[in-house]
A and B are shown apart, each in its own frame.
Chain A
């Protein structure tokens, strides 16, 4: 019996800016940004929960905008800036949103947390003083099965009040 091989074009070279670091990748064109980060770059913060754009656990920033990494192709991010939860803390100091998530107990199991945090970070950059309603809109695409929602909203508002969001 002849050997069967998966069809499709081969891997291509692409370079991303991941958390400020130039990151060359050699990936198949259909590779999602999520798979590229988790399997090729080794950044495991963004989680694969549904892999079809229905939960938000893989939310991260591309050119400052919150996107689902499972719905974004890695090759489409060539030359663009990708920010993940791993890139938020600076010099060992947590980002104000991260700090607020701990202070307000805005997670339980923590599996949705990187995505929730990235959604809030994107919101606060665009809207430094959001209303509770704006916070809810920003994280309405991020499911939390443990039900930490009230604390997530509190944490986001607290982080905004501290007003220390870095550009």
Chain B
């Protein structure tokens, strides 16, 4: 589909690879650092408005049931209860393609049935147990593979397996027939829960017909749009705010039902209403990474990969989209014959939400495991086999050229750092008798080129400080800091003189902070706004100083001409409150070039065949994401992505009880996110070559890339060390032992 992008003005020339930059590319202290270490940073959970009421949600105890009747009279009689909402008294409020937030047929344990507003959270909680719901219990299915089975209860009249998305290039069937070696494997990944430490939640308050919502979100404008659709308000009447937020990892892309609950109660009762999920609600009803079943066939001939066929089934709950695991199979390697086929499978479990590189994490595990299996079958080093298909500068899907691709450089850097030449077929001896050691690697493909629209303003104050306003949000990645850097660099002032105002729909529009979009979408707009401000400043300075404009430049907070430095404050001194307001907008991406990010992870593991324990000792993470704006926060981003991937690879798994549909791992005691003890040595490297074709800053995104290949690299290292392939994540001791038993 053609996209129309309306922009104003001209772009700035990209900073060249050899441009001398003094702030961009240098490590910075996070601009919000002091607020976060002192406890001063305010999150949605911390919003305290006078007279706030508290809302709690009644959730279905059944995986599937029809709500026949709700009796809230006893709840309403409880002192301190201010209102109850349920499907028989709630106005239609559109939510993600459904007409109402309370379904007639609840579809999973945890589905919203009713909500209570009360003076305190404890009273609201107590009132939930006083609501009497008459359920007609219906047959259910929660397991992915059972749901695929035609004998299982059908959740949707069209069946449980939907939306088959198919892609083909070349002739896979012919190549499989002609191949020297064909490998085939069935791979499984488990449902991963985001577990952002700040749970989903919102505080809503009305002032007449003006609605203000504080929400822990990755997209304030997305929340605004969701509220407009639900409540039919003009955009000017909605303001959404998110100052700091405690993690999202993809799950906080728009409004939740809690947002609508808070807004409806707040309007009805005339008081601010806070609706915040607890940890267990978060883990049943706020999204997840789909469990997948994947079949990959790969063929090799004459030392090359000739064909790959990849079919996938993803447990989406009731979602209307699927995080396609076959993306890497289509685009990562220059392989002439590819067949990809993705299915969406409905179950009576909580729906998926985007989770950091949705689909790509799961798909890369299956694809990269299969590539290693093929290399083994062909008797080729797996890295050597990948090299033969990684150098192409043309995207195999669109057939267009990449703006910049340094994947082979990533291989060189990573192989050197991990000591790939030590790798041996059948693995290495471990550090103690009986232990096995292995090396593995995997590649990463993701977008990350950013997109319009995004707009920014830069106010240059009379004292030479500046305020940047842009409606983006800092989800913890350091967005405020890179904005300040780019603004200060372009404007020619100290980075500490820049204040960054974000997380507010009254600021200029910026896209969702997800999908590695942020840096490449917003910093080019910030740069143009700062450039506009600088040019206006020079116009004024030329008049004030009576020096030709062409002879002036801004440097270190001063207007500099030959031999003279005039601080910006001095230039403005006699102009009273003269304020320069620069504005900038993100220019469109080139339309005949493909923007992607690349990388490779190398892992060294030690496995104990007696206990099944896998210990990851070292991960080398190398990424090609264009210019690194802040090496300090970039390294943090990669370490964090690797650690989250290790959870996915080794310990994280949502367990659902099949007879009752209940999530048994909804707390952090049973659901195992990595702790400090689980962290290996992580070596981070960047190719760090600016992508001057992509945008005027030369940077691309880095949120997704570091979570994509680590699990696959670990799985390949385990297979190398043990000589046995485990095709089911996470690689728990049980699965390792079972695989060893099956192999012997």
A residues at B contact (CB < 8 Å): 1-6, 42-52, 54-55, 57, 84-86, 88-89, 94, 98-99, 101-103, 105, 107-114, 117, 136, 139-140, 142-153
Nearest neighbor of B244 in chain A, beta-carbon distance? A110
Give chain B residues whose Cβ lies under 8 Å from the Cβ of A105: 30, 632-633, 635-636
Cα A89 to Cα B33 in complex, Å, equals: 14
Cα A23 to Cα B665 in complex, Å, equals: 39
Give chain B residues whose Cβ lies under 8 Å from the Cβ of A108: 247, 476-478, 636-637, 640
| Cβ-neighbour of B643 out of A47, A85, A149 (below 8 A) | A149
Known: A50-B279, A86-B39, A145-B247. 16 other contacts (CB 8 A): A4-B130, A45-B39, A47-B43, A48-B45, A51-B279, A54-B279, A54-B668, A89-B38, A94-B34, A109-B196, A109-B246, A110-B36, A111-B43, A142-B676, A144-B197, A149-B643
> Contact between A102 and B677 (Cβ–Cβ < 8 Å)?
no
Which of A57, A108, A109 has the most chain B CB atoms inside 10 A of its CB? Answer: A109
| Cβ-neighbour of B48 out of A42, A45, A85, A139 (below 8 A) | A42
| Cβ-neighbour of B640 out of A88, A112, A147 (below 8 A) | A147
Cα A55 to Cα B278 in complex, Å, equals: 13
| Cβ-neighbour of A46 out of B39, B122, B478, B643 (below 8 A) | B39
> Contact between A47 and B246 (Cβ–Cβ < 8 Å)?
yes
| Cβ-neighbour of A86 out of B38, B279, B667 (below 8 A) | B38
Cα A117 to Cα B635 in complex, Å, equals: 21
Give chain A residues whose Cβ lies under 8 Å from the Cβ of B222: none
* A153-B38 contact given A52-B279, A105-B632, CB 8 Å threshold: no
> Contact between A148 and B245 (Cβ–Cβ < 8 Å)?
no
Which of A6, A51, A85 has the most chain B CB atoms inside 10 A of its CB? Answer: A6
Cα A107 to Cα B640 in complex, Å, equals: 10
Give chain A residues whose Cβ lies under 8 Å from the Cβ of B78: 3-6
Cα A42 to Cα B78 in complex, Å, equals: 27
> Contact between A52 and B667 (Cβ–Cβ < 8 Å)?
yes
Q: What is the distance, in angstroms, from B33's C-beta to the closest C-beta of chain A?
A: 4
> Contact between A109 and B197 (Cβ–Cβ < 8 Å)?
yes
Cα A103 to Cα B130 in complex, Å, equals: 51
Cα A94 to Cα B477 in complex, Å, equals: 23
Nearest neighbor of A53 in chain B, beta-carbon distance? B669
Which of A44, A117, A145 has the most chain B CB atoms inside 10 A of its CB? Answer: A145
Scoring B residues 101 to 138 as 1 if CB is less than 8 Å from chain A, else 0, what string do you get?
Answer: 00000000000000000000011001000100000000
Give chain B residues whose Cβ lies under 8 Å from the Cβ of A2: 77
Cα A45 to Cα B42 in complex, Å, equals: 9
Scoring B residues 236 to 253 as 1 if CB is less than 8 Å from chain A, else 0, what string do you get?
Answer: 000000001111010000
Q: Does B641 belong to the interface (CB within 8 Å)? A: yes
Cα A42 to Cα B46 in complex, Å, equals: 9
B residues at A contact (CB < 8 Å): 29-30, 32-43, 45-46, 48, 73-74, 77-79, 122-123, 126, 130, 194-199, 244-247, 249, 278-279, 475-478, 632-633, 635-637, 639-644, 667-669, 673-677, 679, 682
Q: What is the distance, in angstroms, from B277's C-beta to the closest C-beta of chain A?
A: 11
Cα A109 to Cα B478 in complex, Å, equals: 8
> Contact between A45 and B667 (Cβ–Cβ < 8 Å)?
no
Cα A124 to Cα B477 in complex, Å, equals: 28
Q: What is the distance, in angstroms, from B241's C-beta to the closest C-beta of chain A?
A: 16
| Cβ-neighbour of B246 out of A50, A51, A111 (below 8 A) | A111
Q: What is the distance, in angstroms, from B504's C-beta to the closest C-beta of chain A?
A: 18
Name 20 A/B residue pairs within 8 A (Cβ), A-sorted. Answer: A4-B78, A4-B130, A6-B78, A42-B48, A47-B45, A47-B197, A49-B668, A54-B668, A55-B668, A86-B39, A98-B38, A107-B37, A109-B245, A109-B475, A109-B476, A111-B198, A113-B37, A145-B673, A147-B642, A147-B643
> Contact between B33 and A136 (Cβ–Cβ < 8 Å)?
no
Q: What is the distance, in angstroms, from B397's C-beta to the closest C-beta of chain A?
A: 31
| Cβ-neighbour of A107 out of B36, B475, B669, B675 (below 8 A) | B36
Instruction: Give the number of residue pairs across the A-B interface with Cβ within 8 Å.
Output: 172
Q: What is the distance, in angstroms, from B450's C-beta to the closest C-beta of chain A?
A: 20
Cα A147 to Cα B45 in complex, Å, equals: 21
The 5 A-B residue pairs with the shortest CB-CB distance, nearest first, are A45-B39, A109-B476, A111-B246, A147-B643, A147-B640
Which of A113, A136, A142 has the most chain B CB atoms inside 10 A of its CB? Answer: A113
> Contact between B37 and A94 (Cβ–Cβ < 8 Å)?
yes
Q: What is the distance, in angstroms, from B433's C-beta to the closest C-beta of chain A?
A: 24
> Contact between A146 and B476 (Cβ–Cβ < 8 Å)?
yes
> Contact between A5 and B79 (Cβ–Cβ < 8 Å)?
yes
> Contact between B38 and A45 (Cβ–Cβ < 8 Å)?
yes
> Contact between B247 and A146 (Cβ–Cβ < 8 Å)?
yes
Give chain A residues whose Cβ lies under 8 Å from the Cβ of B40: 45, 86
> Contact between A150 and B197 (Cβ–Cβ < 8 Å)?
no
Q: What is the distance, in angstroms, from B42's C-beta to the closest C-beta of chain A?
A: 7
| Cβ-neighbour of B38 out of A88, A112, A146, A150 (below 8 A) | A88
> Contact between A149 and B39 (Cβ–Cβ < 8 Å)?
no
Q: What is the distance, in angstroms, from A119's C-beta to the closest C-beta of chain B?
A: 10
> Contact between A98 and B37 (Cβ–Cβ < 8 Å)?
yes
Q: What is the distance, in angstroms, from B702's C-beta to the closest C-beta of chain A?
A: 12
Which of A105, A150, A152 has the most chain B CB atoms inside 10 A of its CB? Answer: A105
* A147-B639 contact given A44-B39, A85-B38, CB 8 Å threshold: yes
Give chain A residues whose Cβ lies under 8 Å from the Cβ of B633: 105
Nearest neighbor of B278 in chain A, beta-carbon distance? A51
Nearest neighbor of B477 in chain A, beta-carbon distance? A108
| Cβ-neighbour of B74 out of A1, A47, A86 (below 8 A) | A1
Cα A103 to Cα B456 in complex, Å, equals: 29
Cα A80 to Cα B476 in complex, Å, equals: 35
Q: What is the distance, in angstroms, from B58's C-beta to the closest C-beta of chain A?
A: 16
> Contact between B39 and A6 (Cβ–Cβ < 8 Å)?
no
> Contact between A49 and B197 (Cβ–Cβ < 8 Å)?
yes
Cα A5 to Cα B35 in complex, Å, equals: 41
> Contact between B36 and A113 (Cβ–Cβ < 8 Å)?
yes
Give chain B residues whose Cβ lies under 8 Å from the Cβ of A151: 636, 639
Nearest neighbor of A57 in chain B, beta-carbon distance? B197
Cα A134 to Cα B203 in complex, Å, equals: 40
Nearest neighbor of B642 in chain A, beta-carbon distance? A147
| Cβ-neighbour of B77 out of A4, A85, A111, A150 (below 8 A) | A4
Give chain B residues whose Cβ lies under 8 Å from the Cβ of A43: 39
* A102-B33 contact given A110-B41, A110-B244, CB 8 Å threshold: yes
Give chain B residues whose Cβ lies under 8 Å from the Cβ of A107: 36-37, 476
Cα A77 to Cα B581 in complex, Å, equals: 53
> Contact between B77 and A140 (Cβ–Cβ < 8 Å)?
no
> Contact between A49 and B279 (Cβ–Cβ < 8 Å)?
yes
> Contact between A143 and B673 (Cβ–Cβ < 8 Å)?
yes
Cα A147 to Cα B682 in complex, Å, equals: 11
Cα A117 to Cα B40 in complex, Å, equals: 14
Nearest neighbor of A48 in chain B, beta-carbon distance? B45
Nearest neighbor of A6 in chain B, beta-carbon distance? B126
| Cβ-neighbour of B674 out of A45, A50, A54, A147 (below 8 A) | A147
